[in-house]
Copies of this chain bind each other. A is one copy, B any other.
Amino acid sequence: MAKRVTGPEIEKLIQLLAKVPGLGPRSARRAALHLIKKKDQLLGPLGSAMGEAYDKVKVCSRCGNVDTIDPCTVCTDDRRDQSVIIVVEDVSDLWALERAGVMNAAYHVLGGTLSPLDGVGPDDLNIKGLIDRVSEGGIKEIIIAVNATVEGQTTAHYITDRLADLGVAITRLAHGVPVGGELDYLDEGTLSAALRARTAI
């Protein structure tokens, strides 16, 4: 803004809101005004929730999930089959797979993918932690659920190699046509994978 039209505290709130993914400078102003209008229902509680999350949040030392306890809610859940570990790149992938609600397994968050160009090597990811978990025994299957990108697949290959001698079943997500997807909009790689992995009706 050319001239100051409001207090520095509110300007600062807008500036910080603009850094939240999904909000830009313009929507940050709209969000700030909405928060201020809903002062007691939203601004106060959200500020407190952020403060509490800031104080309590920790990364699970076992699987890399984000939680307020360590080991996390997933790792300490007795109703899960802790002998199956789904390996994901990011916490957001863990949460996405849980929304699908298909598996009742444990997880392992790598924290990214191997990317030599960006200087990300095996030691920068939480791969040693995965090997330690498998070496401790009691693990039957590792499901590698990294993204179907070049970096993701490179990482999957690396992990498969490292786990090869530990006597654990290693699987990966199926490639194919997304549910609801139109063939015309899919790339050749996806279509050929879906054809090769065709199933009997």
Say yes or no: is A98 at the interface (Cβ < 8 Å to chain B).
Answer: yes
Main DSSP-derived SS at the A contact region: helix
Return A87 CB to nearest CB of chain B, in Å.
16
Once the chains bind, are A43 and B47 in contact (CB under 8 Å)? no
User: Most chain-B Cβ atoms within 10 A of its Cβ — which of A22, A27, A31, A95?
Assistant: A22
Once the chains bind, are B57 and A47 in contact (CB under 8 Å)? no
Each complex incorporates copies of this chain amounting to 2
B residues near A34, Cβ cutoff 8 Å: 20-21
Say yes or no: is A197 at the interface (Cβ < 8 Å to chain B).
Answer: no
A35-71 residues at the B interface, CB under 8 angstroms: 35-36, 38-39, 42-54, 56-57, 65-69
Say yes or no: is A195 at the interface (Cβ < 8 Å to chain B).
Answer: no
Q: Which of B3, B23, B56, B95 contacts A5 (CB 8 A)?
A: B95
The complex places the Cα of A39 from the Cα of B50 at a distance, in Å, of: 10
Interface size class of A (residues with CB under 8 A): 35 or more
Once the chains bind, are A43 and B35 in contact (CB under 8 Å)? no
The complex places the Cα of A29 from the Cα of B21 at a distance, in Å, of: 10
Say yes or no: is A140 at the interface (Cβ < 8 Å to chain B).
Answer: no
Say yes or no: is A1 at the interface (Cβ < 8 Å to chain B).
Answer: yes
Q: Which 4 A-B pairs have the closest CB atoms?
A: A47-B50, A7-B68, A2-B101, A22-B27
A residues adjacent to B (C-beta < 8 A): 1-10, 12-13, 16-17, 19-23, 27, 29-36, 38-39, 42-54, 56-57, 65-69, 72-74, 77, 90-92, 94-95, 98-99, 101
